[in-house]
Structure 1
Amino acid sequence: MFVSDAPYLRYVALGDSQTEGLGDGDDRAGLRGWADRLAEGLAVTTPDLRYANLAVRGRLAAHVHAEQLAPALALRPDLATVVAGVNDLLRPGFDADEVAGHLEAMFAALTAAGARVATVTFPDAARITPLARPIGSRVTALNDRIRAAADRHGVTVAETSHHAVVTDPRLWSADRLHASPLGHARIAAAVAHALQLPGSDDSWTHPLPPPPGPAPTPWRTAATEVRWAAAFLGPWLARRLRGRSSGDGRTAKRPQLLPVQAPSGDGGPRVG
């Protein structure tokens, strides 16, 4: 657990499902997620921290810009995270310049308002699921534009794309779109390290121990891919064809700045 002596008192997170916390908890018991974990770490030494999470699953970068930027600015954050663009990567009409333009507009507005802003780059999706290989060049193009936009506005970038561990299957949930609890913990640690928070280090980049047992056979790997496509890819494509989104009718889980409790060690949510 990192700790912070930085004077961050108002942290606001903007984004989509990853920032909302899908894959770390559930809608019944409550989602945690990397942004909650980052807030918990900040609260260890800043008990007066207030934290809001405006992220909503399924949102494109344009939606995050249109729906979340103004409420975020109204909360006057001194720390903000902006992570969006994965949902855009999966759309047929993906335009890296357009997506990066929305991200840059948020970077510009939040930094101009005095906030320290952080973001992340995205891993090679083909190393998470082979069926995602066609979007590899899109990920590279978006990451390049994120870096350039961040540099223009003094935004901190957690370079998660550079490290092999970020595509370890154990860091991803069964749907391969959202981080697992361990993955969310690593993202929080990556952002803390990029922000140079005291107590943070590069241990989040270290590989996990080898999994027990023999490596899967090609037949077993193929069967796993078929099951994944039936359970997750098929329903996702069906929603796209119907013009539906997993975020339809949903609002931010934490629209106001509220106190944060430091974690007690049981792994459960400690935000709220």
Structure 2
Amino acid sequence: MTTHPYTRYVAIGDSQTEGIGDGDEVHGHRGWADRLAEILAEGHPEFTYANLAVRGKVTAQIRAEQLEPALALKPDLVTVVAGMNDLVRPGFDAERIVGDIEEMLARLAESGARVATVTYPDLGKVSPFARRALPRVLDLNARLRAAAERHGVAVLDVFPHPVTSDPRLWSPDRIHAGPLGHARLASGMAHTLGLPGHADWSDPLPPLPPPTPVSALRTTSADVRWAVGFLGPWAWRRLRGRSSGDGRTAKRPELTPWVTDKKLT
């Protein structure tokens, strides 16, 4: 059993925290926050967990819709992960985005909860769509680290670790982590919170074989399939002013004991 002081964990955020990319709409989505709850619950029958995250939400919506419900649950541990949906949209404003994040960090820290957040990896190594986003990522990460330091917030800083932009950790949509990526994030957050046994969370994966003409062709074909299957629908929703989170509510709005019959992979 791992010793820790947490009994009331609340996760707020967008699709990454909801768990998109780790599961499906039929059987449900797990994600790194669920996996972290699994780690924290081991040997702690008093442990409870709520996940207020909803896919498609920008940072201002997360602050407006999830902060007060999170505070009302009186957590002793909160994770705040926001900014991805702002990062990939026109009109990116790092100062405004981190201003909203900092308000959440400050108020949650003032409540007495232990608060933790996550930086962003080099998304351009995962998706061709995000290759021009590196300046935004660097700006957002620098501001996020500074805001976290001002309020004593723990930071899982994924950007310096090359494995976090290894495409094998990401789902086919290249926007969300896959099961292995979510597992690494959960382990990284456990390490950030001081839990033993997770120092290897950022270890690199085995090297890939050298590229060949056949593998290059497969990569090109995969890029085309991705553009048709994921980029196109995403752009169409943006043009229509729609979001993948429209009409959705939190999957786990109340603090309840963590119970699972699913084996982590």
**In the alignment, is the contact (CA less than 8 A) between 1:22 and 1:33 conserved in 2?**
yes
**In the alignment, is the contact (CA less than 8 A) between 1:15 and 1:84 conserved in 2?**
yes
C-alpha separation in 1, matches of 2:208 and 2:261: 28
C-alpha separation in 1, matches of 2:215 and 2:128: 16
Partner of 2:110: 112
- What whole-Å deviation, never above 9, does each CA across 1:221-246 have from its counterpart, x for those lacking one? 22221221111101100000000000
Partner of 1:179: 177
Partner of 1:122: 120
C-alpha separation in 2, matches of 1:40 and 1:266: 10
Structure 2: state its 5+ residue gaps: none
Partner of 1:37: 35
- What whole-Å deviation, never above 9, does each CA across 1:2-23 have from its counterpart, x for those lacking one? x531110100000000000001
Moved more, 215-224 or 159-168: 215-224
Three-state SS of the structure 2 residue aligned to 1:138 is helix
Number of aligned pairs?
264
Three-state SS of the structure 1 residue aligned to 2:137 is helix
C-alpha separation in 1, matches of 2:247 and 2:44: 34
C-alpha separation in 1, matches of 2:240 and 2:262: 43
1:45 to partner: Cα distance: 2.5
1:214 to partner: Cα distance: 5.4
Partner of 1:188: 186
1:213 to partner: Cα distance: 8.2
Partner of 1:9: 7
1:264 to partner: Cα distance: 5.8
**In the alignment, is the contact (CA less than 8 A) between 1:49 and 1:259 conserved in 2?**
yes
Three-state SS of the structure 2 residue aligned to 1:162 is coil
C-alpha separation in 1, matches of 2:64 and 2:81: 14
C-alpha separation in 1, matches of 2:102 and 2:35: 25
Q: Quick one: which amino acid aligns to residue 130 of structure 1? A: P
Q: Does 1:25 align with 2:23?
A: yes
Three-state SS of the structure 1 residue aligned to 2:255 is strand
- What whole-Å deviation, never above 9, does each CA across 1:143-175 have from its counterpart, x for those lacking one? 001000000000000011111111111110000
1:133 to partner: Cα distance: 1.2
Q: What is the TM-score when the length of structure 1 is the normalising length?
A: 0.93
Q: CA RMSD in A?
A: 1.6
C-alpha separation in 1, matches of 2:140 and 2:152: 18
Structure 1: state its 5+ residue gaps: none
C-alpha separation in 1, matches of 2:129 and 2:33: 28
C-alpha separation in 2, matches of 1:266 and 1:194: 23
Q: Percent identity?
A: 60
Partner of 1:267: 264
